Amino acid sequence: MIGPDWPADWAARPRYLPWQARPRRNGRTGKCPVGADGRPCDPLEPRGWRSWTDALACVTRGEAEGVGLVVTPALRLTVLDLDDCVTPAGLTPAAQAVIEEFAGAYVESSPSGRGLHILVRGACPAGWRRRPGLDVITTGFVTVTGRAWPGGAPVTRPDQQARLADWHARHAPVSTAHPASGRAQPSRAPAGDWFRRAGQARNGARFQALWAGELAGSPSASEADLRLTLMLLYWQPQLSDAELGALLLSSGRARDKLSDPHYLQRTVATARRYRAV
């Protein structure tokens, strides 16, 4: 059920979609954004965005389980999605530290009640987007509940651009840090005009977000890996499996799982099968 705490100034923007709980291929249940026809839709397609009132009405009528916000860089809003940080004993120390870091930001419970969403005003710098238990989202679909965490519904929410940049640099995962500075390296843009054209295409915002390491509306990191692989194959169909794997590992999606050669090979093979259909 949607709570009463969602900020009114954000509710005034038509950037919402209702979502339905739908099974994924891995057997888990995902939160799938749906359009006016009740079918799954691309959350980054602005023509389908709805008002807060319209999306909420779908929940009231029983047509959807909840409401989600579409986040894009133009919004200058960074969502810190913390998983499994609410325990019977209270918040984990890591989650409490993030809340204290961004005092004045809007904080709410996740749909499951086991996580938190911290919505920070400001654009996150390029670089890492995932840590264990934490997703940094600047492009994509984010479920919202309107159930503010105690102290998480401030009347005013200050711009925290500078604080966000400092926090992002200090918490860069070790695996993506530059050995000299300890700061996260932004994903490297490969050579060739194709990369620029991919970023400027109709689905360029999704491509750029996936390349940066974000989920970009994907229900899981694995599906985001597959979506980026399919896009890379569209723009560079001549690449060998080894070249495609190296390209993926040069993106912001690089992490321990993607570095597993068996997982990487499966992802590439699955993308090639989809392209062949």
Mean pLDDT throughout 112-124?
95
Say yes or no: 157 and 229 in one domain. no
**Mean model confidence pLDDT for the chain:** 89
Q: For the whole model, what pTM was predicted? A: 0.77
In the predicted structure, residue 174 carries a pLDDT above the cut 80: no
Answer yes or no: do 111 and 162 share one domain. yes
Q: What is the mean pLDDT of residues 34-45?
A: 92
pLDDT given for residue 96 in this prediction: 95
Asked whether the predicted pLDDT for residue 31 surpasses 80, the reply is yes
Residue 267 included in any domain: yes
Residue 158 and residue 101 in contact, taking contact as beta carbons nearer than 8 Å: no
> Pick from 56, 74, 86, 44: which is nearest to 215 by CA?
44
User: What are the angstrom distances between the C-alpha of 109 and each of 171, 225, 241?
Assistant: 23, 27, 42
Shared domain check, 231 and 148: no
Are 198 and 137 in the same domain? no
Structure tokens at 270: 């699955």
Mean pLDDT to the nearest integer, 3-28:
89
pLDDT higher than threshold 50 for residue 163: yes
Examine residue 238 and state whether it is found in any structural domain, yes or no: yes
Give me the sign of the Cα torsion angle 55, 31, 205, 11. Answer: positive
pLDDT tens per residue, range 241-270: 999 999 999 888 888 888 899 999 999 999
- Within a domain: 181: no
- Count of C-beta atoms within a 10 Å radius of residue 234: 15
Q: What is the pLDDT of residue 187?
A: 52
Q: Is residue 176 part of a domain?
A: no
Q: Is residue 45 part of a domain?
A: yes
Provide the domain count of the chain: 2
Domain assignment present for 180:
no
- Give the pLDDT confidence score for residue 127 in this predicted structure: 81
Residues 151, 15, single domain; the answer is yes
Per-residue pLDDT, averaged over 32-57, amounts to 94
Query: Given a cut of 60, is residue 186 above it in pLDDT?
Result: no
| pLDDT bucket at 181, cuts 50 / 70 / 90 | very low
pLDDT at 17: 97
Give the SS3 label for residue 147. coil
270 inside domain = yes
Two structure tokens written together for 60: 């009231």
Sheet with 140-144, side-by-side order of all strands: 29-33, 16-23, 66-71, 140-144
In a domain, 119, yes or no: yes
221 and 139 together in one domain: no
Query: 264 to each of 60, 197, 229, how far by Cα in Å?
Result: 42, 25, 10
Q: In which domain, by residue range, is 229 found? A: 193-276
Could you read off the pLDDT of 226-241 as tens digits, one per residue? 999 999 999 999 999 9
Determine the number of helices (DSSP H) and then strands (DSSP E) in the chain. 10, 11
On the question of pLDDT at 152 being above 90, the answer is no
pLDDT beyond 90 at 25: no
